[in-house]
Chain A
């Protein structure tokens, strides 16, 4: 029994020992698990810190839950993806860097990268070619020492602008060694937004600038030329019209607008056909365009009438050609020749009239001279009459030639010389009247005299010439006869001589032109003789005496011509 009990006792001891061992082992395992979980929690918190979040609290996830949830597995899977993403990003950055490097060196502009102290960090090949072809390396040098040789930043320094503003900055046409650059600066900032580097790009614009300057000069020249042309076109007294091939007006200078009596806005854009309805000009222009031949200048009546009188213009056409030789327009020059043409006509009339006036007395002289040669058939008294007639006609010729010589002197601007003296005016007038009373019996001549004796200071021969001319006109333009009155009035300074007739009179236009050379009031009638110079000479003779001549007349109501003569100094009151 004891043995049996002893065996049982020994077994119990062994069992307890085993239990103790197992308990100890279990405690050790628990301790190990606890340390392991503690280690895992530490690593999990470390990883959570890396991903930027809070540590995992024990009450949030117990140890069993921690193992089942496997945060390390989750985070490591995420890290695999983060690494993969970083790898892709690195690949893209590498490609971008290579791309930028290629652009950096291939671009036509010079590029330099500066640090905050303006030291050169890198530059491209083009920058070296432009600025420093002979320097081996410029890295580490400041841009101020290399490019701004005065060691101080130049005005408009792009680096300074970028550093001051933190923004892109531009300086245009920066000069270096007679070359010009548009300079662009870009900041490179750190995460805090502070500028750490500045990239500066130099675009050479020398050719562009020279081109712009050339263009500017050309434009200025063109503007000046245009202004000169505009000034010339505006200032010429001839009318200038610029038209296109169809005759549409593109430009009309002030003289032309004045001739056409139209403001610029109404003229430009109209056609020659619209502007000049009844003239040859539109047709001539179209023919010139068709035949590509401007033709000779021609006279045309344009722009309506002035005072009922048509105005005549000499039109000269010049064609403008395109590069292919076709007509692209033309310039029409208008020169008013109304007076010129009238003068030409008057000169022509004068020649025939003068020839007639010279021939009439000459015919008489020749005729009577021939009769005198045949003296045997005529009595002494008849021969004396012939000689007197020859003398009379010769005097007429002489007077006519004197008139021509006077007008020639006036034309040449010469002053007619006067032999002035104190002369009694009344006898001078009486002498002239005596002749006309004898030669024009159909007219009644009256002389109205002032009571005072009129002594004027004048050239008696010239004043007689004036009186004869005016009396002759009074007779000629009073074909029906009538009274011709000479009135002499006196003031303290001068004497006024007025010669009035009751003849055909004159219109206001005729009065305006009465002193014009070769002008005759009624050139159509052959009854009135004369060459149209008398009144011109009269006016000049009166002017030579420092006096004035005036005309009062109306059609059908006769004419009064008055002139003044200075009194002789002794006659002044």
Chain B
């Protein structure tokens, strides 16, 4: 299996809806590579509200999203949906 490239988006300090809009803009930019499984987008945020809105939105767009608690905030990993 080819190695997946990690793209990072840091939206610390941002609150919704900016956090969501920034995340969506990045997902839109990377959509083809994300769908092909070549890229994984790691979004770091300290906005707890975003841990619900971002995964919900990207799942509706056909991607998988996982949320992990990190020391200073949250890591939301967006990748291609499993068929």
Contact = CB atoms under 8 A, between A and B. Distances in A.
Same assembly = yes
Contacts of A54: 16-17, 49
B18 interface: yes
A367 interface: no
Nearest to A71: B21
B61 A56 contact: no
A570 B17 CA distance: 140
Contacts of B57: 51-52, 78
Interface string B12-53: 000111101100110110010000000000000000010011
Contact of A85 (B16, B21, B24, B62): B62
A75 B24 CA distance: 7
Nearest to B54: A53
A88 B80 CA distance: 14
Interface string A33-59: 000000000000000100111111000
A78 to B, nearest CB: 5
Given A69-B21, A74-B24, A81 B62 contact: yes
A81 B18 contact: no
B17 A84 contact: no
- Main SS of the interface on chain A? helix
Interface residues of A, number: 20
B56 interface: yes
Nearest to B53: A53
B63 to A, nearest CB: 9
A81 B17 contact: no
Contacts of A98: none
B62 A56 contact: no
B53 A78 contact: no
Contact of B17 (A55, A78, A82, A85): A55
A74 B56 contact: no
A78 B49 CA distance: 19
A376 to B, nearest CB: 145
A93 interface: no
B61 A81 contact: yes
Q: How large is the interface on B (under 10, 10 to 19, 20 to 34, 35 or more residues)?
A: 10 to 19
Given A48-B17, A53-B53, A54-B17, A78 B62 contact: no
Nearest to B81: A85
Contacts of A74: 21, 24-25, 28
B28 A81 contact: yes
A78 B18 contact: no
Given A78-B27, A81-B31, A53 B17 contact: yes
Given A74-B25, A82-B60, A51 B53 contact: yes
Contacts of B21: 48, 69, 71, 74-75
A60 B18 contact: yes
A280 interface: no
A77 B24 CA distance: 9
Given A69-B21, A71-B21, A78 B16 contact: no
B22 to A, nearest CB: 9
Interface in A284-308: none
Contacts of A60: 15, 18
A424 B15 CA distance: 144
Contacts of A77: 24, 28
Contacts of B15: 60
B73 to A, nearest CB: 18
Contacts of A55: 17
A71 B22 CA distance: 9
B41 to A, nearest CB: 14
Nearest to B35: A81
Nearest to B59: A85
A28 interface: no
B28 A78 contact: yes
A66 to B, nearest CB: 11
A61 interface: yes
A61 B22 CA distance: 13
Contacts of A51: 20, 24, 53, 57
Interface string A211-230: 00000000000000000000
A61 B57 CA distance: 21
A54 B50 CA distance: 10
Contacts of B60: 82, 85
Interface string A425-436: 000000000000
A84 B52 CA distance: 22
A119 to B, nearest CB: 35
B18 to A, nearest CB: 6
A63 to B, nearest CB: 16
Contacts of B25: 74
A75 to B, nearest CB: 7
Contacts of B49: 53-54
Given A60-B18, A61-B18, A81-B31, A88 B61 contact: no
Question: When A and B form their complex, which 3 residue pairs have the shortest distance between CB atoms, in order from nearest?
Answer: A85-B62, A81-B61, A77-B28
12 contacts: A51-B53, A52-B52, A52-B57, A53-B17, A53-B49, A71-B21, A75-B24, A81-B27, A81-B61, A82-B60, A84-B62, A88-B62
Interface of A: 48, 51-56, 60-61, 69, 71, 74-75, 77-78, 81-82, 84-85, 88
Given A78-B27, A78-B57, A81-B62, 9 more contacts: A51-B20, A51-B53, A52-B56, A52-B57, A53-B17, A54-B16, A54-B49, A69-B21, A75-B21
